[in-house]
Amino acid sequence: MNLDLEPADLAFQEEVRAFLREHLTPELADAGRRVTSVFLDPAFTLPWQRILHRRGWAAPSWPQQYGGPGWSEMQRYIFAAECTRANAPGLAPMGLRMVGPCIMRYGTDEQKKTLLPRLLSGEDYWCQGYSEPGSGSDLASLSTRAVSDGDDYVINGSKIWTTHAHFANRMFGLVRTRFEGKPQTGITFLLLDMKAPGVSVRPIITLAGEHELNAVFFDNVRVPKANRLGEENDGWTVAKYLLEFERGGQFAPGLKVRLQRLREIAREHISPGDGVWQKLAHADVTVDAIEFTEHRVMASLASGGNPGPMSSMLKTQGTEAMQRIEELAVEIAGIHGAVDQPDARGPGSNLTPIAPDDHAEAMARYLNGRAASIYGGSNEIQRGVIARLMLGL
């Protein structure tokens, strides 16, 4: 596979770099560099999204008819890679990358007209209501109930591990509208207002001491049937389509940048004969393999396909490679990796960390990364998908 860029792609790469030099402020870049998880506080992501929206670049994968730039797969990849190298804050994926494509495919004309522009501008900030206390990877067992009542559904139940629900004004969620028959055939996909009466959000503090996750409770919450995406009892179809976008994505650019930074840190703190260097080299080979797989997915998308089960392969390999790299970061940090000073790390802090700046986020990144092989469908589930759909086992 030839990964060299064509002249037109090189010109686009320079256009992106020039834009980043002009518009990515030092404050936003510092926030992007210090992020310890997939999700960054919207105090940093939304200003950057507005800057991108003015240029028409907020949703690289969206078609032009819905406000996207109409880029090729290679242009999207270049854009993601350059933003990562420049430490641009990653935009929240729940809206732009996940529910947005679902609205385009399954939404009514009114839903598309109303919701998609608000997604692009950042007026709506979305969270995902999938997992429940007794339903994680076995999502089809969910029990949050939606009962039909005239033009509304009345919802009772709860969701858990709901990332950024404390910031979100909208949720896309799965509810049970039928209890008999096959579990997957009684699920409906709804778009909810987080400010509706009866919705309550309680924080869940992570191992890293951060408030990113939440439990969400529904007590007789009324949701108009006009907010249903797809048909009643056919939400599983919509959910599977969405999960292809959640599980796929582009891991290699971020992993390459992270490895390069670790090599720079290791040169300052690790002796040449230390076994860390062999581990870094092994990680390099793994990330190169992921990059080739991502390019195969890009080729499929360019010919009109969708990620399909390949997204399960990328999710598995990408998240496990990330975990191994963050283990290396803690090893390189040594005793400084054990420092627990959450108020001094992350963007916007004005406290001086005890650990050297290079190591301040190492342990938080490691701890947050443990969830990567669980969310979006655990990697054990992904291996089952690969076995069935790719290997025919």
The residues that are catalytic are 246
Looking up tokens 């256009």, which residue turns up? 15
How many CB atoms within 10 Å of residue 303?
A: 8
DSSP 220-261: EEEEEGGGB-SSTTBHHHHHHHHHHHHH-S--HHHHHHHHHH
Rg (CA), the chain: 21
Torsion of CA 61, 66, 70, 73, to 10 degrees: 20
Neighbours of 193 (CB within 10 A): 16
169: helix, strand or coil: coil
Task: Tell which residue, 114, 102, 106, 109, has the closest CA to residue 62.
Answer: 102
How far apart, in whole angstroms, are the C-alpha atoms of residue 245 and residue 307?
Answer: 8
H or E stretch at 200: strand 199-205
DSSP designation for 96: I
Which residue do the tokens 């030839």 mark?
2
Count of residues in the chain: 393
State the DSSP H helix or E strand holding residue 105, giving kind and residue range, or none if neither: helix 100-106
> Hey, which residues does 176 pair with through a beta bridge?
145, 187
**CA–CA distance, 118 with 310 (Å, rounded to integer):** 30
- 3-class SS at 158? strand
From CA 35, how far away is CA 27, in angstroms rounded? 12
Instruction: Output the CA–CA distances (angstroms, integers) from residue 261 to 257, 267, 329, in the order listed.
Output: 6, 10, 10
Question: Which sign, positive or negative, has the C-alpha torsion 133, 137, 141, 143?
Answer: positive
Under DSSP, the state recorded for 87 is T
